[in-house]
Chains A and B, each alone.
Chain A
Amino acid sequence: MKYQHLDKFVTTSKQKDFERDFFANAEQYEIWDEVKIGEEYEASRKFEVKAEDIIAFSRAVMDPNPLFNDEEYAKKTRWGGLIAHPVFYTAIGFYCTDIGASNWIRTPGAYNPGQRNLIFEPFRVGDIITLKLKSTDKWIKRGKYYLEYRQDFINQHGTLKTRRWPTLIVPPTRAEMLKYIEAGRE
């Protein structure tokens, strides 16, 4: 397992089993110049929200809010149980992202200049989330290549919990992306 020094932070079953090599199978990723705007995908992996997932994310963002950490406290609130920190979608998004097309967030050399996020309902214990993705825009500005896409997080009852539009700055071609992979293998 890559990054074994991170084992001390692992507290959930999902974290234990997750592939940490961001570039594994990266040759199959879809690259900026291949993306067609309007393409839609559904991630094959689903995220079943457990209390340990919500609590682990709260610890990762150093947020001690009892609504995100203390089941007994949360039961007495309007929510009747734990809710997740608003940025919990990050954990679901990365966990569900698979290899191949729509794998833009894992593109070697990509980084994140900003995003828009709408939160309709907090994520709750028992939610089984399906991640749907759609490419919405790509452009060049000041020599950088931008990709914007939409992520919809939908639970098993068809409720859209969060919709967001991440933006990435990415390598524009497969040849450029491969430079980042090869540097990691040196």
Chain B
Amino acid sequence: MNLNFDSVELGTQLPNVVRHIDRDVINRFAVGSFDYNPIHLDPEWKKRMNLPGGKSNIGHGQMTMSFMATVITDWVCPAGGMVTKIDAKYIKPVLPGDVITAGGTVTEKHFHGAGKNFVVVEIFAQNQNGEKVAVGEAEAILP
């Protein structure tokens, strides 16, 4: 069945997105986002600082946000929908070697008329130990 607003049921779980994180993944995101903060890139500097992640460089929060956004876009874009809102709180640093799983559950449907109807999706990202690294909420318009 083609995805559309009418067909969506509350409680629907979206397919997960899984990403394996290593230094190259973090480095590529730094170049792609223009975010060269040494908290992500400079091992020697990070070891001297009292910042999240202990002595390790950490992944960009925006990278984790991107994985959660992809959960929504993978679901709505083929149907002609679009993401209109995405909020997140970062709970735990993402470290090289982590395997991040992002997912979401439809929690609300808002009836605003054709072309404006939207759903709310609770989103999360967790590491290989099942620890949440980020949680948030997204909205997406569906045809």
> Within 8 Å of chain B (Cβ to Cβ): is A28?
no
Question: Among the listed stretches B5-13, B44-52, B103-111, B124-132, which one makes contact with chain A, having 4 or more residues with CB under 8 Å of it?
Answer: B44-52
> Within 8 Å of chain B (Cβ to Cβ): is A156?
no
Q: Output the nearest chain B residue to A22 by Cβ-Cβ distance.
A: B36
**Contact status A60-B38, CB under 8 Å:** no
The interface size bin for chain A is: 35 or more
* Residues in chain B near residue A9, CB distance under 8 A: 27-28, 31-32
> Within 8 Å of chain A (Cβ to Cβ): is B41?
yes
Other-chain residue from A56, A61, A65, A184 in contact with B38 (beta carbon distance below 8 A): A184
The interface size bin for chain B is: 35 or more
* Residues in chain B near residue A110, CB distance under 8 A: 37
**Contact status A15-B36, CB under 8 Å:** no
A residues touching B (Cβ–Cβ < 8 Å)? 2-3, 5-6, 9-10, 14-15, 18, 20-23, 56-57, 59-63, 65, 67-68, 77-78, 85-87, 90-91, 94-95, 106, 109-120, 122, 180, 183-184, 186
Other-chain residue from A22, A67, A87 in contact with B66 (beta carbon distance below 8 A): A87
Other-chain residue from A18, A95, A183 in contact with B49 (beta carbon distance below 8 A): A183
Q: Output the nearest chain B residue to A9 by Cβ-Cβ distance.
A: B31
* Residues in chain B near residue A77, CB distance under 8 A: 80
Once the chains are docked, how many angstroms separate the CA of A63 from the CA of B19? 10
Where chain B touches its partner, the secondary structure class is: helix
Once the chains are docked, how many angstroms separate the CA of A109 from the CA of B39? 8
Least CB distance, B27 to chain A, in whole angstroms: 5
Other-chain residue from B19, B27, B35, B83 in contact with A90 (beta carbon distance below 8 A): B35
* Residues in chain B near residue A120, CB distance under 8 A: 84
**Contact status A112-B32, CB under 8 Å:** no
Other-chain residue from B39, B66, B83, B87 in contact with A63 (beta carbon distance below 8 A): B66
* Residues in chain A near residue B82, CB distance under 8 A: 119, 122
Other-chain residue from A23, A91, A118, A184 in contact with B34 (beta carbon distance below 8 A): A91
Once the chains are docked, how many angstroms separate the CA of A59 from the CA of B65? 15
**Which 3 A-B residue pairs are closest in the complex by CB-CB distance?**
A60-B32, A94-B34, A61-B66
* Residues in chain B near residue A90, CB distance under 8 A: 33, 35, 62, 65-66
**Contact status A65-B73, CB under 8 Å:** yes
**Contact status B28-A59, CB under 8 Å:** yes
> Within 8 Å of chain A (Cβ to Cβ): is B86?
yes
> Within 8 Å of chain A (Cβ to Cβ): is B116?
no
**Contact status A111-B39, CB under 8 Å:** yes
Least CB distance, A9 to chain B, in whole angstroms: 4
Binary CB contact string for chain B from 39 to 72 against chain A (1 if under 8 A, 0 otherwise) = 1011001001101100000001111011101101
